[in-house]
Structure 1
């Protein structure tokens, strides 16, 4: 843990699980146990503390290509875990996970770019690409994941296909539901913009 960002990331990766922290307190070191709880308003896992950076500075690091390649796989895996943790935390509280449509995505991209410049823009581009890949492989009609369900069903039935008209009807219903969700989510994005609220919680 080198900064508050690392701490927040670790808390969200271990949401709902018991963590052991080694902290400096009163001139000595002490091990404490904490269990992050999902906060519905913040939309993430919290442990009930406020952090303050002392003597903060920016440091640029260059890694060899093989290290950067390894880190890319690690970061991608951690992102998948963060998505899973966020969704499970929201559902455990009886609420829907925070979603965003095209309008919200544009807002997020603008906020990341404004805060982080080119690095922020590249970061949000990578995050969006991975999230879209995850969404696309979910077993949702009309998406690739939905098509894979029918392919697997055909394999289980030893080559017997689902009638094309029935499969088409399923995809049509999925398309209608997806468009409806986009409309509802986009309306929520517009309300957030009207209220002047940041998607990132600022």
Structure 2
């Protein structure tokens, strides 16, 4: 059953991504041959309006086959014949809707589990907050004189002033007091050892939190990737990378834990795929976007479609090789 959930999760994310490409291509009048979810042997297909809609066996990809995308074409409605703006929007739409899907899925998550508040749900034993005398149900009012209206303000201010002593003004029942403490540095982030209480059924706060978490998670993912390619990560940190097998295991675990966990993980995976596809790597949407931007800077002079197709083919082979390597590491982790 958990495997079926994992397939549905991948299917939804891929469908949304390819739907973004499809809708913008259709809006631009591009000749579309096929809209496929999955790769490999065909399981189901139906033709409508000259477009073949298909589901294929391997649920780890998909594509929108457009005339003139990777080759020269005389069709006036081929992808290559469309304006720079239409081609940019068609390519950009796939990753963009993945990011939008993340926000949409996180809204009900934070509506039901609640949004973090400035009230303490717990204070971790032997933490700086506990040593300073802070307790559960205390409410932080300000840090170093700056007001804290929501829990995200606490993390931001603790990290801003983490190298120096923190002056925390808090409220306990009807009593207001101030304590001073020094935050702990853990992996480059400063922590004081508090966990927030959560406010449930707050739609406006849930929407805001969905955007905040999407933004913060995006920053974390991109920072991790930058450190990975620049060699700033330790071997253990790099080993945290997961391929399809690892992600299926995570989805299976989430399915065991409950529906909300599946929705949350689906949102994060969708965001990950959206951001990854925006990277300027051959075979990814980010590379095509980069080529279009260079074309614009060259006054509309295009790269030969055949050469660009060869570059994308090499990039695809390299990405498949990386996927196989990461999948091998996932299997080794599972076996051990």
Whether the 8 Å CA contact 2:242–2:330 is kept in 1: the answer is yes
Which deviations, in whole Å up to 9, do the C-alpha atoms of 1:110-158 show, x marking residues without a partner? Answer: 222323x111111101111111100111111111111101101111110
| Contact 2:159 2:190 (8 Å CA) reproduced | no
Judge which range, 78-87 or 173-182, deviates more.
78-87
With structure 1 as the length reference, what TM-score do the two structures score? 0.70
Q: Which of 164, 176, 185 is 2:326 aligned to? A: 185
Aligned length: 176
2:254 corresponds to 1:112: yes
1:19-61 per-residue CA deviation (whole Å, 9 max, x = no partner) reads: 76568xxxx83221443326xxxxxx687x9x698xx9x9661
2:184–2:190 contact (8 Å) kept in structure 1: no
Deviation at residue 89 of structure 1 after TM alignment: 5.6
Aligned to 1:138: 279
Deviation at 1:68, TM superposition (A): 2.5
Match of 1:82 in 2: 220
Residue in structure 1 matching 2:180, options 16, 27, 30: 30
Contact 1:87 1:97 in 2 (8 A): no
Are residues 88 and 150 of structure 1, via their aligned partners in 2, closer, same or farther at CA, if it must alter by over 3 Å?
closer
Instruction: State whether residues 137 and 144 of structure 1, in contact with CA within 8 Å, keep that contact through their aligned partners in structure 2.
Output: yes
1:149-168 mapped onto 2 (5 Å cutoff): 149-168=290-309
Contact 1:86 1:97 in 2 (8 A): no
SS at match of 1:30: strand
User: CA, structure 1 residues 185+22, in 2 after alignment: closer, same or farther (shift >3 Å)?
Assistant: farther
Given the alignment of the two structures, is residue 72 of structure 1 paired with residue 210 of structure 2, yes or no?
Answer: yes
CA contact 2:165–2:183 (8 Å) conserved in 1: yes
Residues 112, 146 of structure 1: alpha-carbon distance in 2 compared, 3 angstrom cutoff: same
Partner residue of 1:102 out of 237, 240, 244:
244
RMSD: 3.6
Report the equivalent of 1:194: 335
Normalising to structure 2: TM-score of the pair?
A: 0.44
What is the distance in 1 between the residues matched to 2:194 and 2:301?
62
- For the pair shown, the structure with the greater C-alpha radius of gyration is 2
Aligned-pair distance for 1:174?
0.4
| 1:155-190 per-position Cα deviation (integer Å, ceiling 9, x unaligned) | 111011111111111101100000000000000000
* Higher RCO (C-alpha 8 Å, min separation 6): 2
The question of whether the paired residues in 2 share the 8 Å contact of 1:14 and 1:36 is answered with no
- CA distance in 2 between counterparts of 1:151 and 1:118 reads 41
Equivalence for 2:263: 122
